[in-house]
Copies of this chain bind each other. A is one copy, B any other.
Amino acid sequence: MVNFIDSVHSMINFEIHEQELHSWLKDLFPINRSISGRGQIITLNYLKNLVPSIEVKSFKSGEIAFDWVAPEVWDVENAYVEDEKGNKIIDFQENNLHLVGYSTPVNEVMSKQKLIEHLHSIENIPDAIPYVTSYYKRNWGFCLSHNQLKTLNEGPFHVVIDSKFENGELFFGELIIEGSTDEEILLSTYICHPSMANDNLSGPVITIGIIKWLLGLKNRKYTYRIIFIPETIGSIFYIKENLVSLKELVVAGYVLTCLGDEGGYSYLSSRNGNTITDRISIKLLKDLKVDYKLYPFTENGSDERQFCFPGVDLPIGSLMKSKYGEFPQYHNSHDNLDFVTPKGLKQGFELISTALKMIETNRTYKISTLCEPQLGKRGLYPQSSQLGTESIVRDQMNVIAYLDGQNDVLSVSEICNLPYFATLNIITKLQEKGLITEISSNSDK
């Protein structure tokens, strides 16, 4: 099964350049993103440059969505800690993880004791700078490696945070790619994390790759609704604006995150756990014959929390390489351009594009004969048969036996213990011979 990805590659019919994916990632990496502010605008402009049809939209500080108020826009010019000699010992210009997200302005000389209450480090990973935010409770802080923390002298220290909060707009990107039906697949990724590569620059980068592939794909059944949002606040506002149509139209979808490392594969289930998104994703991981982990929804951690919330109830899961929270580089400065590789990104792209290809092709068919069709006269049966039940015939016969108008391609492949695309190949041949008809579905989610 080493060839599965290769065969899928030809099936998805799109030459993705893994170096190109990685180059986008490198360009986007240094930007100081947050749930609002300049970094987000720069990021969205970069993405729009790659895919001009992405629309940049916004919601405003102070606007209300359900239980939430959109926060003020935060921007920062400069932030550092100086020692007595005027040396900048912690400097936001060097790594934007050094500053706690949404830190309030500070300009104060303070004791080591007071400073330390605002410092964050990871004792177990002493050379990593952690990623910390405080969006909804005014506070300030710096992050540094535990090694550096231990070298701090006795102070006092001059702390400068030149940040500001203003009423303004929180931006997000949206792209609708129309298909032959109104039914939608929702792809959501988040653009609020600063310099970390897997969580979550891999998300928007793979999403751009998927968009380029989808735009070239003929005969798309589904309409694709693709959004680039600040996490949590973004999905909440997006749901607020689009609840009725999301609930009516979305039949499957993913939150795209953690798609660029070379570790294992994983799937985080939707809240319901039995949607087509869940079934397709699990089958794909089985068929891939790779190591993978399945996580229940209770291990969630991104926008599926909103998309699957009671009353919203969209069929959204997350197909990932290594899941957030499960790799040591998670949410610290080790999640960098070495951890996410061109090869890892290509695996992530192929994972998502293959899943989408499966959802696109997962129709329900009915065999058009009563009793078995005579395959020999159609060139689908070997000329003479020594054993009545050869395996070369068996798979085809079994697929036929379960094309009863009830089972979709996925169910048939599960019952017949065949890979999805092997099943689809058989079905395609039967369709060419006019032996099956597609059942038009008022597809339930």
Give residues of chain A (175-213) contacting chain B, Cβ–Cβ below 8 Å. Answer: none
Chain A, 363-397, CB within 8 A of any chain B CB? 366-367, 369-374, 376-377, 381, 383-389, 394, 397
Closest to A232 in B: B372
Copies in the complex: 3
- The reply to whether B310 and A271 form a contact with Cβ atoms under 8 Å apart is no
Chain A residues with a Cβ closer than 8 Å to the other chain, count? 69
A217 at the interface (CB under 8 A from B): no
Bound form: Cα–Cα A185–B359 in Å: 42
Determine if A239 and B67 form an interchain contact, defined as CB atoms under 8 angstroms apart: no
Assembly CA distance A397 to B298 (angstroms)? 9
Query: Known contacts A271-B401, A298-B401, A301-B388; can you find 6 more A-B pairs with CB under 8 A?
Result: A68-B371, A133-B384, A133-B385, A236-B372, A271-B402, A310-B402
Per-residue contact bits, chain A 106-140, to B (CB 8 Å; 1 contact, 0 not): 00000000000000101000000011111011010
Residues of B within 8 A of A136 (CB): 374, 376-377, 381
CB-CB under 8 A from A100, the residues of chain B are: 384
Binds B, one of A162-170, A324-332, A342-350: A324-332
Contact A371 B403 (CB under 8 A): no
CB < 8 Å neighbour of A301 from B231, B240, B324, B389:
B389
Task: Name A's interface SS.
Answer: loop
CA A120 to CA B385, docked complex, whole Å: 10
A100 to chain B, nearest CB (A): 7
A residues with a Cβ closer than 8 A to B are 65-68, 100, 120, 122, 130-134, 136-137, 139, 141, 231-232, 235-236, 239-240, 243, 271, 297-298, 300-302, 305-306, 308-312, 324-325, 330-331, 366-367, 369-374, 376-377, 381, 383-389, 394, 397-398, 401-405, 415-417
How far is the CB of A154 from the nearest CB of chain B, in Å? Answer: 26
Residue from B65, B132, B297, B384 in contact with A141 in the complex, judged by beta carbons closer than 8 Å: B384
Assembled-state Cα–Cα distance A298/B144 (Å): 60
What is the chain B residue whose CB lies nearest that of A404? Answer: B310
Min CB gap A410→B, angstroms: 16
Q: In the complex, how many angstroms separate the beta carbon of A104 from the nearest chain B beta carbon?
A: 12
* Contact yes or no, B331 A371, CB < 8 A: no
**Across-interface contacts of A371 in B (CB, < 8 A):** 65-68, 235-236, 239-240, 306, 309, 312
Minimum Cβ distance to chain B for residue A151 (Å): 21
When A and B form their complex, which 8 residue pairs have the shortest distance between CB atoms, in order from nearest?
A310-B404, A301-B389, A134-B384, A136-B376, A67-B369, A236-B371, A298-B398, A67-B373
Chain B residues near A298: list those with CB within 8 A: 394, 398, 401, 415-417
Residues of B close to A381: CB separation below 8 A: 136
CA distance A120 to B297 in the complex (A): 57
Cα A366 to Cα B306 with chains together (Å) = 16
**A137 partner residues in chain B, CB cutoff 8 A:** 376, 383-384
* In-complex Cβ contact of A325 among B133, B232, B389 (8 A): B389
Of chain B, the residue at the smallest CB distance from A65 is B371
Docked-complex contact A383 and B139, CB < 8 angstroms:
yes
Chain B residue nearest to A405 in the complex (CB): B310
Question: With A305-B397, A325-B389, A385-B133 in contact, is A366–B415 under 8 Å at CB?
Answer: no
Least distance between A382 CB and chain B CB atoms (Å): 9
Q: Is the CB of B68 within 8 A of A308?
A: no
- Please tell me if the beta carbons of A134 and B383 are within 8 angstroms of each other in the complex: yes
Q: Which of B65, B370, B377, B388 contacts A311 (CB 8 A)?
A: B370
**Closest residue of B by beta carbon distance from A331:** B387
